[in-house]
Structure 1
Amino acid sequence: MSETVHSDPPRRLLGVLFLGTLLAALDIAVVGPALPALREAFGLTERAVAWTFTAFVLANLAGLPVMAALADRVGRRRVYLTDVALFAVGTLVVALAPSFGVLLVGRVIQGFGASGIFPVATAVIGDAYPPERRGRAVGMLGAVFGIAFLIGPAVGGVLLAVASWRWLFALSLPLALVVWVLSARTLPESRAPEPRPFDAAGIVTLTALLAALVVGLSGLDASSFTEALAESVVWGPLVLAAALVPVLVRVERRAEAPLLRPGLVSRRPVQAACALAVGAGIVEATFVLLSSYAVSAFGVEGSTASYLLLLLVAGVTVGAPVAGRLLDRVGARPVVTVATLLVAAGMGAVSLAPSLAIHLVGTVVLGLGLSGILGSSLAYILLAEAGADERAVAQGLSTIFLSIGQLVGAATLASLATSAATTVGGYRMGFGVIAVGAVALSALARWLLTPRAV
């Protein structure tokens, strides 16, 4: 059974949920600064080290519906505590990893544990807060990700300057312990009165499709693209991914509660939001690899490179409230159009920058552009299109397609950086392709979005 909504929930409840979300968000924020150190410590290529990010995202995506279903059935408090404990176990494995293979196992455990922290926290708020106060509470949790990306690079820079990369991950362990203890004392037990059916076939098919796509893209070779496509380790997974697309469509059409609700995805504005989410995910993947690029292109120290991300985050921070206000005044179409063109300009500047100063200007423009795509615009479009019973599914679509973009972006950029004549040349090629893609996305969004429909 589900607990009654509290008219006056304790303030410490939101504080505990805030800390739990910060725990998961900080792990994402410190991965970028850690990559150059991991590459050096384990003697990895850019292609291999990118799996530090990819393994987490893939496990996180696979775990989202699993944790949501479990929370509805066995109770949100139990699942939340299990998720925090799983995340802590994965963190310990990563921090103590004697090899890169063991580190990836830890990243998978971390990703699977983190997959339920934010969704379960949101569900707890829905149980504990009256409708008129839920928006503000969920908004505070959403703001944690911005805070994490402000804190993460600074913490990463300090720790890498005085200690090893292991401390970047080990730092989460005390916070995980605090979150677990406070959650055990504070979180009320609740579950859905009528749990939704679990789309097991859908999540298995989607995960297999994305894993095959990532493996295929990871094998691309910028110096001999045609020859690389002829290799079975490349075309085999890509063909499998393509073959699984119609399988996924068929599975979702038959599912009682599909991950990708066909009736919702068939609407043009929703298709635009999904395309924007993929684009935003690809750009987010560049965040993770920008530190490695700065080290290779401009000779920046690994500990210093993490600080450079602060300017990009500043662009997102400044642009987000402006984009939110403009959405109410002019609608999504002009905001998205300008935002995607800013992403193209920023990524183009990063791709062609002859100096660190121009590179940094490009990252600020990139952040400003991303602020008009990620978060507010996606939520605005999906909330306008989704019915009351579709809102959770619609926001789930946003998460799924963001993850797809992150996986594709990380795998492709890492492959280009590894296989091009020079690492810097490979990165610049990848950034240039993303810039062109952002221009195409702008045209697509203008076609899919009506002037004031959303």
Structure 2
Amino acid sequence: MAKRSSQFWALFLFSIGVFMAQLDNGIISAALTTINRSFDVSANWGAWGITIYTLGLAISLPIVGKLSDRYGRKKLFIVEIALFGIGSLLVALSPSFGFYLFARVVQALGGGGIFIIGSSHILSTVEPDKQAKYLGLLGAMNGIAAVLGPNIGSLLLDLTGKWHVLFLINVPIAIVLFILGLRKLEESSDPSPGRLDLIGTIILSLGILSLMLGLTNIDVDFAESLTRPNVWGYLLGGVILITILLFFEGKMERNQSGDPILPVRLIKQPRYLMVLLIGTLSGGLLAAMIYIPSFTEQVLGIAAENSGYWMTPLALAAGIGAGLGGMLVSKRGPVFTVIMSGLIAAIGFMLFPLWLETRWQFIIASAIAGVGIGVILGAPLNILATEGLKKDKGSALASLSLLRQIGMTLAPAIYAGFIARAFNNMGTLFAEKFPGILQQNLANVTLSAEAQAELAQIGQHMSSGGSGVSESELSGMLQAIQDPTLKQVLADSVGEITKTAAQTGFSGLYWTAAILGMAIIVGALVLIPLRKKSPQDLEVTEETV
């Protein structure tokens, strides 16, 4: 009975902690413009509020994973919650933009490891037959919070008009979690001999920082970005530092002269490397979700202020999928679950370019994609990353989360490229398709003599242009038109061209997401024979595939 009560409190506290930390990762996007105005900074500078939080998360993941293994997951959970609560309070009270950025780093250091600590605690203390179900619940909280963050942020901002509330609300929750964590959580750890690897920790932090800075500097022109020093320079620096770290950690492990920050023996295993690759691909799938509001606005015609709410079907489906993933792992094994995740997500995203035309079709397609994403969020990859391990579970999960974060950082640059290229092609669309669309729309209305005269002037202007009229020229002519009927027809025709461009861009985006889903399936199939090879330093248990 006491053990059951302990498991309940652990699951409850970790779930609330994961939800709070992940919610904050998305909630700021709703208030970004308001925060920028508050500190009188440009949009480019304001975006650092998100970028620096992402950098802090990436740096903290492997460190928190290792420290939780070494010193105890209860202790690190308490520290993480305290840092997150203090960081949230400092953000809300920030007197300047520089202080605000500092406070966001404190927040990130506190929020980055809660999911890792919770997952490794479950894998270390819960019976194997219940682990998948509990991990699925943590994954559901993680996924739902990520999707609902912008919506909740918008709601709180509408109700209060103050962005500070978005962060102050974390403080009482953090206090409650801190007190209950001290009283209700049981300690779990995998203590390692030797001194803590401080040098490795510094090298790892600098390497991750360099890699993430390079990735965040990539913009919509992916190929051109790679030629810029602020991209390739940081990426090269990160690769060099990580390479140095691997040599350093390998020597430390061989000499048994300390406790390496990186699980080098794991990184040498093809099985674990394949799990990390699948984790990176799953991060790319998750990144596809952030374009849902733009899709609903530009393709389905949803008002901008309501577009964020259309994330709800995907969010609910992701929560259901995470629970389903836990059940599938228990019954059919983690590899089968990963395969089903990739398949369901690929089908959902393929429906966007192949089938989706109406709002109810969007709900169905986004829900299917959400289930697929949710399935992979919690149990299957976490179990695959830690199977057979008697120690370093936190480090193994931290590396997985870091690679997923890299996938989430890299994929948006690729996705945004499709949209940018489609809108850059608007001039060709106007030249080739606008006259025909305008004629079709004019056939449905009756124009006055004055409107016909205005239309004739527009026709002369377009024919004199030779290769067609540009979007900017059309915008100027539209403003000059006096007749409301003609103005509406022209506006509708321009809107159809814009929608066509948006459909082209989003089709490329969601086809790419579907390909990532298929790549996850391939990775899982490759993983099957790799799992059957029992490495010398791991006790790999046979699972049902």
Alignment TM-score, normalising by the size of structure 1: 0.77
Q: Using a 3 Å threshold, how does the CA distance of structure 1 residues 437 and 147 change in structure 2: closer, same or farther?
A: closer
One of 380, 386, 407 as aligned partner of 1:405: 407
Structure 2 residue runs of 5 or longer lacking an equivalent are 254-258, 425-500, 533-544
In 1, Cα distance between equivalents of 2:188 and 2:332: 40
Q: Using a 3 Å threshold, how does the CA distance of structure 1 residues 445 and 205 change in structure 2: closer, same or farther?
A: farther
Shift in Å at residue 430 of structure 1?
Answer: 4.8
Identify the residue that residue 447 of structure 1 maps to in structure 2.
Answer: 526
Letter of the structure 2 residue corresponding to residue 275 of structure 1:
L
Give the secondary structure class of the aligned counterpart of 2:196. coil
Shift in Å at residue 369 of structure 1?
Answer: 1.7
Q: Using a 3 Å threshold, how does the CA distance of structure 1 residues 176 and 125 change in structure 2: closer, same or farther?
A: same
Identify the residue that residue 237 of structure 1 maps to in structure 2.
Answer: 234
Q: Using a 3 Å threshold, how does the CA distance of structure 1 residues 409 and 25 change in structure 2: closer, same or farther?
A: farther
Letter of the structure 2 residue corresponding to residue 205 of structure 1:
I
Shift in Å at residue 22 of structure 1?
Answer: 1.6
Letter of the structure 2 residue corresponding to residue 56 of structure 1:
Y
Identify the residue that residue 316 of structure 2 maps to in structure 1.
Answer: 314
Deviations 1:72-124 (A, max 9, x none): 77776665443322212211233344666544332211110124545556677
**Do 1:313 and 1:367's aligned partners in 2 also have CA atoms closer than 8 Å?**
yes
One of 496, 517, 529 as aligned partner of 1:438: 517
Letter of the structure 2 residue corresponding to residue 361 of structure 1:
I
**Do 1:336 and 1:442's aligned partners in 2 also have CA atoms closer than 8 Å?**
yes
**Do 2:329 and 2:380's aligned partners in 1 also have CA atoms closer than 8 Å?**
yes
Letter of the structure 2 residue corresponding to residue 394 of structure 1:
A
Identify the residue that residue 284 of structure 2 maps to in structure 1.
Answer: 282
Deviations 1:204-228 (A, max 9, x none): 33433333333323333435x5544
**Do 1:77 and 1:187's aligned partners in 2 also have CA atoms closer than 8 Å?**
yes
In 2, Cα distance between equivalents of 1:307 and 1:350: 18
**Do 1:36 and 1:302's aligned partners in 2 also have CA atoms closer than 8 Å?**
no
**Do 2:314 and 2:366's aligned partners in 1 also have CA atoms closer than 8 Å?**
yes
Give the secondary structure class of the aligned counterpart of 1:222. coil
Identify the residue that residue 468 of structure 2 maps to in structure 1.
Answer: none
Percent identity, aligned pairs only? Answer: 27
Give the secondary structure class of the aligned counterpart of 1:372. helix
Shift in Å at residue 447 of structure 1?
Answer: 2.8
Shift in Å at residue 448 of structure 1?
Answer: 3.5
Asked if 1:211 is matched to 2:209, the reply is yes
Give the secondary structure class of the aligned counterpart of 1:373. helix
Q: Using a 3 Å threshold, how does the CA distance of structure 1 residues 302 and 171 change in structure 2: closer, same or farther?
A: farther
In 2, Cα distance between equivalents of 1:247 and 1:264: 17
Equivalent residues in 2 for 1:141-152 (5 A)?
144-145=141-142, 148=145, 152=149
Letter of the structure 2 residue corresponding to residue 340 of structure 1:
G
Equivalent residues in 2 for 1:11-50 (5 A)?
11=5, 14-15=8-9, 18-19=12-13, 21-39=15-33, 41-42=35-36
Deviations 1:179-202 (A, max 9, x none): 234445555688776566534444
One of 324, 342, 365 as aligned partner of 1:340: 342
In 2, Cα distance between equivalents of 1:119 and 1:303: 34
Asked if 1:92 is matched to 2:89, the reply is yes
Identify the residue that residue 364 of structure 1 maps to in structure 2.
Answer: 367
Identify the residue that residue 57 of structure 2 maps to in structure 1.
Answer: 60
In 2, Cα distance between equivalents of 1:45 and 1:429: 31
Aligned pair count reads 445
Identify the residue that residue 155 of structure 1 maps to in structure 2.
Answer: 152
Letter of the structure 2 residue corresponding to residue 246 of structure 1:
T
In 2, Cα distance between equivalents of 1:64 and 1:25: 17
Q: Using a 3 Å threshold, how does the CA distance of structure 1 residues 374 and 69 change in structure 2: closer, same or farther?
A: closer
Deviations 1:392-446 (A, max 9, x none): 4433332232233233335655787789857968776555444333333433332
